[in-house]
Structure 1
Amino acid sequence: MRRIAQETINRVLEEVDVLDVISQYVDLKKRGQNYFGLSPFRSETKPSFSVAPDKNMWYDFGSAQGGNAVQFLIEYEKISFPEAIRSLAEKYGIEIIERGNKEQNNLYDQLYEIHELACIYFENSIKDNPKGTAKKYLTDRSFHDSIINQFRIGFAPDSWDSLLKELQGKFDNQILKKSGLFSESKKGPLIDRFRNRIMFPFFSLSGKIIGFSGRSLSEKEDVKYLNSPETLLFEKSKVFYGSYQTLPNIRKKNFAILVEGQTDFLRLVEQTFDNVLATSGTAFSSKHAVALKKYTNRVILCYDSDSAGINAAIRTSYVLLQNGIETRVLFLGNGDDPDDFFRKDNNTKDTFRSLIKSAAHPISFIIKHKDILKQGAADQSKFLNECIGEIQLVPDSMVRNDLIRKLSNELGVVEAEVLDRFSSLKQKRYKAPVESDSSTTEVTHYRSSEDKAQ
């Protein structure tokens, strides 16, 4: 007899947004951080049914029952647990793995095992060579063994087939290819994808390794960071580096610090800022925002303070705001990233805490760092229209009005003029569905062709 695998159940519980599910059955109104509506399980005139997006849970005060999206479907549609899991998995594009389907089960088991064995191999490549280039790189960057061990950082040797030789014979070549750790080449049927790189593993929320990011140790390598490709286990558009270790702290502190790279992430964790996540070179998407919103609706962006980092912060700010997440931008200056910042002797934890408290509103950040007020009237008018186009994609009317007010104050434009433009401008761009990997905002606030290329 077939039964749904725990892997599918875990993905449904982790990825399905309870607010999105219940909104299709109940008319909900936001009140504070939660949403309220009339109970769908009994007759009432005053709303006592609550949905908490940050906890991904619902609760009916009248009947004293509550739970997650699966439990809601079971209660509302009077169906079984497997039927609820299957229904949600099909709707949200989650592959249904069934025990009893030995071939499919075996494939996932083998992919997880390949990644675990690869991680052990990479870890041992550092431990077995304590004076090698990989250990020297980490030591020079002042990363202690405790951090290296906690996040299972390793090293992929500068070889075309060292990992392949380690795993070949244990797994079929087709399975190895599906893992994303190997590529086809003229040098042989398969070669190692990661070579001469510091290896940072990605974990699922259940603690299994699902992919890697590799930082090249060669100055001649054009691709500084290389991530695993899309696989059955690894979806880059919704995965954060460090989420397995830090999401509980993010929920507890009710805000996340979002950084670009793994070394920035590790430095902040080392400095006890353990509510941090990294996008790891992947453009921030609506899928990222949806995943993050289950744990918090407040984000501090702390990206690199070079031109590329500024543009990335602007793009990410819009995506976060358009997904209902309160956003502030922490700008370190001097071209620094968080790793650079804490490697300077005069910077302390207290300094960073002060910067968090004074982090800028996204509108203020954009206007300042794109020198909008120094531009001519025509360019300022163009910028205003572009900003309004982004604000139109914000679903919450209160947040939209706040952004319009902020834009008016910062530009010195009468609020009525901004509102008039908001009403008259046609919404030329539409929010991409969550399921689409293209669901990122393309920002047009460029000062130069160099900015645009970046």
Structure 2
Amino acid sequence: MCLIADSTVQQVREYSDIVGVISEYVTLKKRGRNFIGLCPFHSEKTPSFTVSPEKQIFHCFGCHESGDLISFVQKVDSLTFVEAVTVIAQRAGIVVEETRGSASQYHTDFDTIRDMLALLLAKYQTFLAESGPTVSYLADRGVLKDSFEMFQLGFSPSSFDAASFLKKEGASDDIIDRTGVFYRTDQGQFRSRFSGRLIFPVLDYQRRVTGFGGRVMQSGNSDRSVAKYVNSQESRLFNKRKLLYGIGLAKPAIKKAGFAILMEGYMDVLMAHQFGFAHSVGVMGTALTKEQVQLIKRFTDTVYLAFDNDQAGQMAMQKSYQVLAPFGMTVKCLSMSEKDPADILLAHDADYFQGLIDQAVPVLDRLIETSVNALPNREIDTVSKCLGQLLDVVKLNPSKVVQDHYVGILAQELEIDREIILAQIRKTRYNVVSSLKFSKKDHTSKYLKAASFLAYVSATDQSYRESLRSKLEGIDFIDPDYVKLMGIIIGSDLYNQALYDEIEDDELKKKYGALLIEGEQVFTKVNVTQQIDECIGVLKEYYVSKRREEIKVAIREIEKTGKDTEQILMLLNELKELKSSREQLNYG
């Protein structure tokens, strides 16, 4: 099997534009020597995600996720190590060299699952070409052959035993189960979720199959309990929160147009692409998520919402704005007379739909207009309630300029003094100031801070590490993880991100990443030699104090038995020596 050569992996590890790559996923702002933004790995309103270009490490002060560029891309895109290395190499213009190796070296279960999904897709496509009724259905819906080939549509006949097919291809029961395509009967047998359905493959932004959507095709089936659409089971590969239908096809067009058109369903997106609106993507019938927004933001800061013209679609528009606004996105909405974009495109033409795009208005304008027009009266309680609801939406946008603009509109529309609204919004305005403190909790002792400082300077500076190698005897680093970490640091000739790559334990990796970023926030490299000596003294004091208490406990236990006076004398002598050592340290 061909694998990525170590030389390629090393070049990727040495690639220095960690800020540039992460900026494609997270909006970063410079703060001092580092960059900060909202963490992509947990939900937060105050930025706690920090990237250090100097140390080539990221760390979140909220969820404590840490790592280098490769681990970031792995986690944020759910990639294997090899896939992450390949993505970064392609971005950096690094030639991906291959070598020979065993299949088990890098080939994971996720690679196998993707292989099985790709085999299923090819089979579904073959069945579609052979299914006259399904092809006729697509033609009746106005779908051209070029379109269903471009979107790789398929069909799963009721007679197709997909599980047996995958077993013949070498898939184990565990792999079959994890494809997300099947459910188990009470007898433990596999049954396909997509039997008798038109197949919409769901691809990620790299156009790899993650799962499927399926529309029921049995026209004579009157069972209302049968869902019209079903999707693959949620899994690490098929995570709808992180996927957008059509994103792999839409990427170039989004960049060219400067904005994305966000729709709801599979057919909406397919028809939009067929009519030339290739910058369209779909949320697949679920509420928009922050992960999907982060994916869109890698290609544009502007989104046009083209949701169904019904109550549910209008509610989805408002909820989508609430997710988009905190990311500083420009959000507009189309005014559609028909129910959904597919219907509009088929009933009219591309020029008509382009006109709707040209006439799109900011979502906030639409929400304010709709809310004001819906007021039953102008009594103070009614107006106050309306104002409060609209301010909750307005303040989601991090731009004070945008907020103040809509304060003026609200003042005019609701006939309220502008200063009153300004006072209200300033009182509730989102504060983006972040307090990045390094473990300054009340229970954090001076001993742990001393251990942290020694670990930090030895991890980041060769000369200090060399001097520490001969000074650590008789020092207790308190935290067991710091003991392990210091052993790795002192025993290595690597620094910063290079040393991170050599640490095998995941928890220690996180602790090391946190140490590099948090240490930079707190510790100053002024009079470092003096600080090192003071920290060593503090930790030696800790060792002496701890050992003295251990001896006192041991003496009391021996005295209870009335025996082994010789042992007591030895302990008393050690206690005396420890007292002398403590006095020499001049601490406490």
Q: TM-score, normalised by structure 2?
A: 0.57
Preserved CA contact (<8 Å) 1:373 1:380: no
* Count of matched residue positions in the alignment of Structure 1 and Structure 2: 374
Cα distance in 2 for partners of 1:126, 1:267 equals 18
Corresponding residue of 1:54: none
Q: How much has 1:91 moved relative to structure 2?
A: 7.7
SS across alignment from 1:315: helix
Q: How much has 1:100 moved relative to structure 2?
A: 7.5
Corresponding residue of 2:255: 251
Q: How much has 1:401 moved relative to structure 2?
A: 2.1
Q: 1:388 to 1:241 in 2, by over 3 A?
A: same
Asked if residue 212 in structure 1 is aligned to residue 212 in structure 2, the reply is yes
Preserved CA contact (<8 Å) 2:216 2:227: yes
Asked if residue 383 in structure 1 is aligned to residue 386 in structure 2, the reply is yes
Preserved CA contact (<8 Å) 2:27 2:327: no
Q: 1:257 to 1:392 in 2, by over 3 A?
A: same
Corresponding residue of 2:399: 396
User: After the TM superposition, which of the residue ranges 415-424 and 92-101 deviates more from structure 2?
Assistant: 92-101
Q: 1:78 to 1:342 in 2, by over 3 A?
A: closer
Q: 1:356 to 1:21 in 2, by over 3 A?
A: closer
What is the letter of the counterpart of residue 127 of structure 2?
Answer: S
Q: How much has 1:350 moved relative to structure 2?
A: 1.9
Preserved CA contact (<8 Å) 2:371 2:386: no
SS across alignment from 2:158: coil
Of 99, 103, 123, the residue aligned with 1:121 is 123
Cα distance in 2 for partners of 1:124, 1:108 equals 25
Corresponding residue of 1:238: 242
Preserved CA contact (<8 Å) 2:326 2:398: yes
Preserved CA contact (<8 Å) 1:204 1:210: yes
Q: How much has 1:371 moved relative to structure 2?
A: 6.2
Q: How much has 1:252 moved relative to structure 2?
A: 1.1
Q: What are the equivalent positions in structure 2 for 1:149-164 lying under 5 Å apart? A: 149-158=149-158, 162-164=161-163
- CA-to-aligned-CA distance 1:393-433 (integer Å, 9 cap, x gap): 32222222233333334434332232122234587xxxxxx
Cα distance in 2 for partners of 1:247, 1:102 equals 33
Asked if residue 165 in structure 1 is aligned to residue 149 in structure 2, the reply is no
Q: How much has 1:389 moved relative to structure 2?
A: 1.9
Preserved CA contact (<8 Å) 2:259 2:303: yes
SS across alignment from 1:142: coil
Q: How much has 1:157 moved relative to structure 2?
A: 2.1
Corresponding residue of 1:281: 285
SS across alignment from 2:271: helix
SS across alignment from 2:303: strand
- CA-to-aligned-CA distance 1:116-148 (integer Å, 9 cap, x gap): 111112111211122x2x222211101010001
Q: How much has 1:370 moved relative to structure 2?
A: 5.0
Asked if residue 263 in structure 1 is aligned to residue 267 in structure 2, the reply is yes
Q: What are the equivalent positions in structure 2 for 1:5-404 lying under 5 Å apart? A: 16-18=22-24, 20=26, 23=29, 26=32, 76-77=54-55, 84-86=68-70, 88-89=72-73, 97=81, 102=104, 105-130=107-132, 132=133, 134-158=134-158, 162-170=161-169, 171-186=171-186, 188-218=188-218, 220-334=224-338, 336-344=339-347, 347-369=348-370, 372-376=373-377, 377=379, 378-404=381-407
Cα distance in 2 for partners of 1:2, 1:112 equals 22
- CA-to-aligned-CA distance 1:18-63 (integer Å, 9 cap, x gap): 584853655899xxxxx9xxxxxxxxxxxxxxxxxxxxxxxxxxxx
Preserved CA contact (<8 Å) 2:128 2:135: yes
Q: How much has 1:367 moved relative to structure 2?
A: 3.7
Q: 1:412 to 1:119 in 2, by over 3 A?
A: farther
Q: 1:198 to 1:164 in 2, by over 3 A?
A: same
Select the structure of larger CA radius of gyration.
Answer: 2
Q: 1:412 to 1:327 in 2, by over 3 A?
A: farther
SS across alignment from 2:213: strand
SS across alignment from 1:155: strand
Corresponding residue of 1:59: none
Q: How much has 1:291 moved relative to structure 2?
A: 1.2
Whose helix proportion is higher, 1 or 2? 2
Preserved CA contact (<8 Å) 1:155 1:196: yes
Preserved CA contact (<8 Å) 1:201 1:211: yes
Q: TM-score, normalised by structure 1?
A: 0.73
Q: 1:175 to 1:247 in 2, by over 3 A?
A: same
Cα distance in 1 for partners of 2:356, 2:307 equals 13
Cα distance in 1 for partners of 2:226, 2:406 equals 40
Preserved CA contact (<8 Å) 2:261 2:304: yes
Cα distance in 1 for partners of 2:355, 2:342 equals 17
SS across alignment from 1:77: coil
- CA-to-aligned-CA distance 1:218-274 (integer Å, 9 cap, x gap): 553453222223223222112110011111110111011111111111111111111
What is the letter of the counterpart of residue 363 of structure 1?
Answer: L
Q: CA RMSD in A?
A: 3.5
User: After the TM superposition, which of the residue ranges 357-366 and 409-418 deviates more from structure 2?
Assistant: 409-418
What is the letter of the counterpart of residue 363 of structure 2?
Answer: P
What is the letter of the counterpart of residue 365 of structure 1?
Answer: R
Preserved CA contact (<8 Å) 1:86 1:96: no
Q: How much has 1:78 moved relative to structure 2?
A: 6.4
SS across alignment from 2:328: coil
SS across alignment from 2:202: strand
SS across alignment from 2:336: coil
What is the letter of the counterpart of residue 385 of structure 1?
Answer: G
Q: 1:137 to 1:406 in 2, by over 3 A?
A: farther
Consecutive unaligned residues of structure 1, counting only runs of 5 or more, are 30-34, 36-71, 428-454
User: After the TM superposition, which of the residue ranges 394-403 and 138-147 deviates more from structure 2?
Assistant: 394-403
Q: 1:156 to 1:396 in 2, by over 3 A?
A: same
- CA-to-aligned-CA distance 1:127-185 (integer Å, 9 cap, x gap): 1122x2x22221110101000111101112235x6222221232001001111111122
User: After the TM superposition, which of the residue ranges 225-234 and 85-94 deviates more from structure 2?
Assistant: 85-94
SS across alignment from 1:76: coil
Q: 1:294 to 1:126 in 2, by over 3 A?
A: same
Asked if residue 421 in structure 1 is aligned to residue 424 in structure 2, the reply is yes
Cα distance in 2 for partners of 1:14, 1:303 equals 33
Cα distance in 1 for partners of 2:9, 2:332 equals 40
Preserved CA contact (<8 Å) 1:2 1:101: no
Q: How much has 1:366 moved relative to structure 2?
A: 2.0
SS across alignment from 1:183: strand
Preserved CA contact (<8 Å) 1:17 1:290: no
Cα distance in 1 for partners of 2:33, 2:320 equals 30
What is the letter of the counterpart of residue 69 of structure 2?
Answer: I
Corresponding residue of 1:56: none
SS across alignment from 2:337: coil
Using the aligned pairs only, state the percent identity.
23
